[in-house]
Structure 1
Amino acid sequence: METRLVGQANVAPEQDAVALIDQAHLRSKAFGIASDDRPDYSGLAASHLKGALEENRFLFQHAVPVMETLYGQIANTHSMVLLTSAQGMVLHSMGDNDFLEKADRVALVPGMDWSEQTRGTNAVGTALATQHAVTVHGDQHYMNANHALTCSCAPILDPYGQIVGALDVSGDHRSYHQHTLALVRMSAQMIENHMFASSFPKAVRVHFHSRPEFLGTLVEGIAAFTPEGRFVSANRSAQFQLGMSFVGLQAHTFPSLFNLPISALFELFGSPNAAPRQLCLHNGVTVWCRTEVKPSGPWATPIVSPLADSGTPAARSSCGNGNAARTTQLSSLQYLDTGDAQLSGVIAKLRKVVDRDIPVMILGETGTGKDLLAQAIHHDSARARQPFVAVNCASIPDTLIEAELFGYEEGAFTGARKKGAPGKIQQAHGGTLFLDEIGDMPKHLQARLLRVLQERKVSPLGAGKEVEVDVTVISATHKNLKELIARGDFREDLYYRLNGLVVRLPALRERSDFEVVVKKVLHALDGGVDIAIAPEVMELLQAYHWPGNVRQLHNLLRTATVMVDDDGIIRLAHLPDDFLDELRAPLRPVAIPLPAEEPPLVPCVGAPPAPAADDPGEDNQSLQDVTINAMAQMLRLHKGNVSAAAKALGVSRNTIYRKKNLLPPDLLD
């Protein structure tokens, strides 16, 4: 049965309400329930109810205040308010004393199961079974014993889109009011929003609606994202406005939904009590947005773009034409230039090709910040006001990536949305298309992408026409595309179409600006509050090989900042145990695999024994000893060649030179 969304609640169309009840009666009969069955009290057990309340504690603590408010609105109407679990067990009730006595006679009390399987057609059971808000009035109940009731119930969804319970108002069938269901739906929405807010305290929560007066009300959309822009959750109103289900939204990011990089959102709403702004959704709908943001990515790029100029129309709406002259803005590329010579060289090259219609390909290990660099290129270009649309070719299933990239028309395939949907390429029209992990694009789609890039036209699935597109393309990969070409897994002609300028982001272990990167990450994580790192911890971090690069460093420091004591200094005890275990592992102070031609590390003769595990006072010294021994071995193997030793260990030359005073004097001239 088709449904429609009213505000935030899933409601059966009025003309189908009778059919919904009829179908519920058929299910009831199939369950073997007789209409003249008497109320069953066998499920009532104090221990049973206690266990259910414990299991549903999160729902209960957010629902009870709303229930009290709802009961205040219906008091003295011979009614009661009920909260149930997702299985239909009544968890809590409150209501008029006269009606509570009648409810007791039909077992409508806490601890009892009111699913369709046990009670037949009833508002609680049917709402949970169909996931629709529903009213069951009088003799619409399957069991004769319940004909004296009128019940209106709405299912409650948790922040991840799963049914977690139901809210119900039940009363005497003679006091039926047609607006009760709307009141129940609104209360259920309020519970959902309360749970949503408490579930993602550190997420970036975007509140939006097409009409500004609805911001802050029950019908506003709320979507949560990580500080890096990945989708976390969305309430029902947000799903309705975005035109996608919770499952569909999981493949998206903030930029793909709001046509704006997450870093630009930080700039728009970075000041306290920032006024609502207009943004343009991926489907072309303009909405008013508000949010309170606390950037906490690897580091937050302070992008001062035209959107930050509140005196221009473009500042008020990102759906502007974008043809107006750009205002002065701080270079995002400049902000990423933190002093490393290799990275500075990359940025210098990129500055020369910005706005020259030259495709850029970014190479680098996972976690080096390829997506940050792509966004910085976009924001330093004349397309800064236009969409930045990112597509991770490795994260979208092969069966979906074609529709995601090229879009589709209505009826193009089973499950296609009505009126179709524009693809990522169309969404990036006028702006920048970032193809991350391009090496993972399925071979059969590479030819289609090449044709789009050559002809600047895209043909959605099921469409008989082509749509012109104007995009700047940035691609990125951690794979060796030339090896893929040699194996026949990547088209050579597409490779040469994408690599107008190829730049390589250095791995974190290769960079000389480690301390600057650490400070930027800490600043982003802690909102500018001073947190320091103990010198011995900084030495260990500098000596580590960082296989996950900046992303791994960010995650480690995020944990450490939570663990830090009142003095605000990150010490060895504040680092995750798995990280410390890796550092303590004998003979692997930096845990980097050596090249095949290198002999394995062996202990230095006379190396001090490792301290006992229960002697924490020796941790710092023992870790330093292991690190120094490994450096000494590599220097001996490479006859004092610092560059070769550093490369074998996976650290920078500066790391070895910083340990000069601790190494044997004959190894460093």
Structure 2
Amino acid sequence: MRNLVHRPPQSLAAGESSWLTPCIQKAHERSEGYGLSTCTRPDYDVLPATELSLRVEQSRILCAHAMPVMETLREQIVNTQSMVVLTDAQGLILHSIGDDDFLERAEKVALRPGAQWSEEKQGTNAIGTTLAEGSPTVVHGDQHFLEANRFLTCSSAPILDPYGDLIGVLDVTGDYRSYHQHTMALAKMSVQMIENHLFAWTFRDTLQVAFHSRPEFLGTLMEGIAAFTGDGRFLSANRSAQFQLGMPLAALRAHTLSSLFGLTSAQLIDRMRTSRDAPFSLNLHSGAVVCANVTFRRMTLSSAAGQTDARRDKSAAEAYAGTGTATTSSARPLRLASLDTGDPQIAAVIAKVRKVIGKDIPVLITGETGTGKELLAQAIHNDSPRRSGPFVAVNCASIPETLIESELFGYEEGAFTGARRKGAVGKLVQAHGGTLFLDEIGDMPYPLQVRLLRVLQERIVNPLGSAKSIPVDIAVVCATHRDLREMIAQHRFRDDLYYRLNGLVVKLPPLRERKDLAVVIGTMLESEVLTGGDGQRLSVAPDVMTLFERCTWPGNFRQLGNLLRTAAAMVDDDGEIRREHLPDDFFDDLRKADEQSAVGGEAPSTGASEAPVAARSGARLQDVAAQAIAATLARHGGNVSATARALGVSRATIYRNMPVTSANKRCTED
């Protein structure tokens, strides 16, 4: 590669920019279109820690599978003045590791978690250009649009989820003087590892066929993996499988196990059994012969047939960390019955929904953020006659306004700058035969609302840049935490779209109003994710459950899920969640709730430091405090200092509130 250093593109005479590849040239044009110039000060703003934590949580599954691979990649490039970066689908850096001295240099240009590295913010750079082009990109030295970034060389590769959608970018960035041409190959291999891990995890409860024309490649990055339901319906395939089968995912979705491999699921399982789990040969639809391994869980074969192509079906981990109140898995789709955990308001919502399922009546789900709207939508789909079709979820608030139109309606090749080759199928068409879930519909841009209304009325989609019309057969479920009627009055939401969407309006209650909190928490703790270090069953101490019932839960189930996950990581050998395992911000919420209650005329708590010993209904505060202290003393063998630390109070408070019993005589200071 030519030395590009200290040669900014804007200083070149006409015809001297041949060193810019077509891809980089297009990226520079986009950068100029964003109003940037080479001397523009980069966007050094980073998200506050709380907001970054939320974004990391939203990409938790990606991070969980990517970070071990990043560590391995880091070992391969250690001491090369470089770093490894993981971003989400919007270019927000979620995680970075690397050489300490280079990390310090990268900090100066905000190449760190919480910073946004899209082209719109940073101009041409490997992360942003990879997102724009959807393909691996190297941006070297002066190929960066902004002068401030030209000491870098970056190699980025897109990460696709098991359904073929871009969910993030893996990037290796270093000093331009230490660039090596093999860096991109390492990045691509690492991405392939991440994608294969995500694929295996997502479809762990399905029938999986791993294959390759050369047996020595089985069990390696090169093997193709295809997932099917128990009755042989195609779910997805990794990149290697798509290549070997000679079809992209969109085409493969029209196939079955029989049409691809010439065997039914029962025949394939018989072949596997007779081979005694050793690899065996299969014939592809093209006539090629491959060597294959098959994996499945026998317990899922009867239920896997009910698994839809629902790309957003939640596993137990996703359910409790997102908005859920009940656990599910990819093999057992979430049903309405599993959401009915004893709360009267939820029971009433479910009863209403059951009456309109299958009657082509749109459902609008309202409620605060984190109350479980998407899981209710999934359950509606899984209980409907469309359960064998796709469930396609679109979060109107998380997609940039400039992209939501192409995301929904799709586009033809060349429809706009940066469009993928051969175009892209929009979510509306992807949902054909199934259910389209429009989350946060109140955040849909006003100009797009009329296009959506036309689709809902005519059931025809016109992709961007295309003259063709595509008929669609979809059920529509929407959700919002906003007051749409107020938005209509403010001319921010179309009234005609509102009346098209609100066939049945149901409201999910916030967590603080629900009567089934103990059942919900128990369900969450039974999740395979929420276990202690040795997989022991978790429980909640009675006094902690009382605190849970007092909390107003401003973050609803998202907050509860995060709290339980934190507590699960801190529990002792007995697996019981106690006060000392709860985060400080939980007690802050309790204190605020007490202060609000005091303003409303109720008795305030004894203060922030003693929030854990607040009063129960019908009990004197001193009695409750004494009971809590006695229980904690017992757990710590009468050790006053340990008890005070556990409760976050002084030893004087312990002595002042300690019940006078024979047990107190055994108390010790240390």
- Deviation of residue 297 (structure 1)? 2.2
Amino acid at match of 1:494: L
The equivalent position to 1:415 in structure 2, one of 413, 418, 422, is 418
Q: Does 1:547 align with 2:551?
A: no
The equivalent position to 1:163 in structure 2, one of 143, 150, 172, is 172
- Deviation of residue 372 (structure 1)? 0.1
Q: Does 1:62 align with 2:105?
A: no
Unpaired segments ≥5 residues, structure 1: 2-18, 24-56, 68-81, 89-110, 113-126, 134-152, 171-180, 224-233, 244-253, 260-267, 284-291, 309-328, 630-669
DSSP-derived class of the 2:338 partner = helix
The equivalent position to 1:461 in structure 2, one of 452, 461, 464, is 464
Amino acid at match of 2:508: L
CA distance 1:211–1:483, change in 2 (3 Å)? same
Q: Could you tell me which residue of structure 1 aligns to residue 545 of structure 2?
A: 538
Q: Distance in 2 between matches of 1:385 and 1:185?
A: 40
- Once the two structures are superposed, what CA deviation does each residue of 1:471-500 show, in whole Å capped at 9, x if it has no partner? 000011111111111222211111111111
Amino acid at match of 1:161: L
CA distance 1:627–1:196, change in 2 (3 Å)? farther
- Deviation of residue 444 (structure 1)? 0.9
The equivalent position to 1:479 in structure 2, one of 466, 482, 503, is 482
CA root-mean-square deviation: 5.6
The equivalent position to 1:621 in structure 2, one of 604, 610, 613, is 613
- Deviation of residue 301 (structure 1)? 5.7
Q: Could you tell me which residue of structure 1 aligns to residue 82 of structure 2?
A: 86
Q: Could you tell me which residue of structure 2 aligns to residue 600 of structure 1?
A: 599
Q: Does 1:564 align with 2:568?
A: no
Q: Does 1:359 align with 2:355?
A: no
Q: Does 1:432 align with 2:435?
A: yes
DSSP-derived class of the 2:170 partner = coil
Q: Does 1:526 align with 2:530?
A: yes
Q: TM-score, with normalisation over the residues of structure 2?
A: 0.52
CA distance 1:554–1:371, change in 2 (3 Å)? same
CA distance 1:431–1:63, change in 2 (3 Å)? closer
DSSP-derived class of the 2:505 partner = strand
The answer on whether the counterparts of 1:269 and 1:293 sit within 8 Å (CA) in structure 2 is no
CA distance 1:474–1:240, change in 2 (3 Å)? farther
Please identify the structure whose Cα radius of gyration is greater: 1
The answer on whether the counterparts of 1:388 and 1:428 sit within 8 Å (CA) in structure 2 is yes
- Deviation of residue 509 (structure 1)? 1.2
The answer on whether the counterparts of 2:319 and 2:326 sit within 8 Å (CA) in structure 1 is no
The equivalent position to 1:337 in structure 2, one of 337, 340, 352, is 340
- Deviation of residue 450 (structure 1)? 0.8
- Once the two structures are superposed, what CA deviation does each residue of 1:84-121 show, in whole Å capped at 9, x if it has no partner? 44389xxxxxxxxxxxxxxxxxxxxxx99xxxxxxxxx
- Once the two structures are superposed, what CA deviation does each residue of 1:417-469 show, in whole Å capped at 9, x if it has no partner? 12111111011000000011111111111111111111110111111121100
DSSP-derived class of the 2:347 partner = helix
- Deviation of residue 526 (structure 1)? 2.2
Amino acid at match of 1:574: H
DSSP-derived class of the 2:437 partner = strand
Unpaired segments ≥5 residues, structure 2: 2-17, 23-66, 85-100, 103-125, 131-135, 139-152, 160-168, 227-236, 255-293, 622-670
The answer on whether the counterparts of 1:301 and 1:335 sit within 8 Å (CA) in structure 2 is yes
- Deviation of residue 411 (structure 1)? 1.4
- Once the two structures are superposed, what CA deviation does each residue of 1:173-219 show, in whole Å capped at 9, x if it has no partner? xxxxxxxx99x987765566678899x99985889999733763223
The answer on whether the counterparts of 2:591 and 2:605 sit within 8 Å (CA) in structure 1 is no
Q: Distance in 1 between matches of 2:21 and 2:408?
A: 43
Q: Does 1:574 align with 2:581?
A: yes
The equivalent position to 1:395 in structure 2, one of 388, 393, 398, is 398
Q: Could you tell me which residue of structure 2 aligns to residue 27 of structure 1?
A: none
The answer on whether the counterparts of 2:327 and 2:524 sit within 8 Å (CA) in structure 1 is no
Q: Distance in 1 between matches of 2:199 and 2:79?
A: 25
CA distance 1:215–1:537, change in 2 (3 Å)? farther
Q: TM-score, with normalisation over the residues of structure 1?
A: 0.52
Q: Could you tell me which residue of structure 2 aligns to residue 212 of structure 1?
A: 211
DSSP-derived class of the 2:477 partner = strand
| Alignment coverage as a number of residue pairs | 423
- Deviation of residue 280 (structure 1)? 10
Q: Distance in 2 between matches of 1:479 and 1:470?
A: 28
Identical amino acids, percent of aligned pairs: 47
- Deviation of residue 620 (structure 1)? 3.6
The answer on whether the counterparts of 1:439 and 1:481 sit within 8 Å (CA) in structure 2 is yes
- Deviation of residue 293 (structure 1)? 7.2
Q: Distance in 1 between matches of 2:80 and 2:239?
A: 20
Q: Does 1:448 align with 2:457?
A: no
- Deviation of residue 66 (structure 1)? 7.5
Q: Distance in 2 between matches of 1:555 and 1:581?
A: 15
- Deviation of residue 622 (structure 1)? 4.6
Q: Distance in 1 between matches of 2:295 and 2:383?
A: 20
